[in-house]
Amino acid sequence: MLDAVLRQLTTTGWRRGRAGSRTWILVASVAGGVRLLRRVTRSQPEILYRTRVRPGERFEIITRTPAKR
């Protein structure tokens, strides 16, 4: 949840900051720095799903493009 908030603050901050707001540039910089720091200090990769596949079983991964907003 925190990652989503930081991502939103970074995006909004850069967008509004380019429009001339120094405060939003500062918000974007801090949020981007926190995101970078969290990524660098993460000790293990994030595991989204884990399962055991036994002989004869099948595990299929399907990807699709995200819906446009």
> Can you spell out the DSSP letters for the chain?
-HHHHHHHHHHHHHHHHHTT-HHHHHHHHHHHHHHHHHHHH--SPPP-------TT--------PPPP-
39 occurs within a structural domain: no
22 occurs within a structural domain: yes
61 occurs within a structural domain: no
26 occurs within a structural domain: yes
The residue type at 42: R
Q: Please give the tally of structural domains in the chain.
A: 1
pLDDT score, position 65: 87
The tens-digit pLDDT sequence of the chain (69 residues) is: 888 999 999 999 999 999 999 999 999 999 999 999 998 888 877 778 888 889 999 988 888 888 887
Q: Give residue 17's domain range.
A: 2-31
